Amino acid sequence: MNTTAIPLEATSSRPAAHQPVTPAMQTEVARKADVVVEFLRGVVEEFGADGSLVFANSLGAEDMVLTDLIARNALPIEVFSLDTGRLPTETYDLMAAVQQRYGLKLKVYYPNHESVEIYVRSHGINAFYESVELRKACCHARKVEPLTRALAGKKAWITGLRAQQSSTRSGLPTREYDDANGLIKLSPLADWSEKEVWAYIRLHEVPYNVLHDRFYPSIGCAPCTRPVAVGEDVRAGRWWWEDPQYKECGLHKSRG
């Protein structure tokens, strides 16, 4: 299997981060941001400010919008991230930028070292390229198990999911019960478009992963992420060697 990234010459001439923001878009984004803030205030009131409500920040563009809204409005919502051990350097740089910009120290969860050691010893360091099953096993060890620990004892968690991100997320509600983790799952940006996300980031000068400027609309672990070409789906660069219907890591179950 060819794991080489697509050359930049084959990609769009202007990343989403640098698209112009029209006055109409500015107005619409401001309106939607107000709706999200009211939504977040409502769930804080519902679930409390004692740590029962948490935000899983994967450091994507959507998550940076939510980070800015939470910090800007001083909302008492705990923010955490998962470090898989194979993230791009640029993602770690963004973690540092978040702390510098917002004074926010992310609570970071890491994989269980024994699980990762067993996986690599049994299958190989890059076995995730070999089959969907081995890729999902890697995601489970590096993402799903740490998320389970992060959500233990919580009442609700917030995500940056959008319905338009992929076929597995169509019809995404802003609120649903997460059977896998046994709590409420909230997606306040469910109806936002990619253009609206980037308009907010530009208007408020929100820090973001510089890989977005290199045509990476969706960023995960370094070996499982590549740039996308003109006309490709925003998540085409994630696990690009697989059929789109399998492109979830287990953090967010397919809504099939």
The catalytic residue positions are 249
What SS3 class is residue 191?
Answer: coil
Q: Which residue has the tokens 């929100």?
A: 206
The Cα 116–Cα 1 span in angstroms is 23
Burial class (CB in 10 A: 0-12, 13-18, 19+), 186: buried
Nearest C-alpha neighbor of 6 from the set 167, 216, 212, 209? 216
Distance from C-alpha of 95 to C-alpha of 207, rounded to nearest angstrom? 10
Cα radius of gyration rounded to whole Å, the chain: 18
CA angle 18, 82, 96 (to 5 degrees): 55
Rounded CA separation 173/238 (Å): 23
Which ranges of 53-169 would DSSP assign to H, the alpha helix? 61-72, 89-102, 113-123, 132-139, 145-151
Lookup result for tokens 């109409």:
24
Q: Judging by beta carbons within 10 Å of its beta carbon (0-12, 13-18, 19+), is residue 23 exposed, middle or buried? A: exposed
State how far Cα 23 lies from the chain centre. Answer: 28
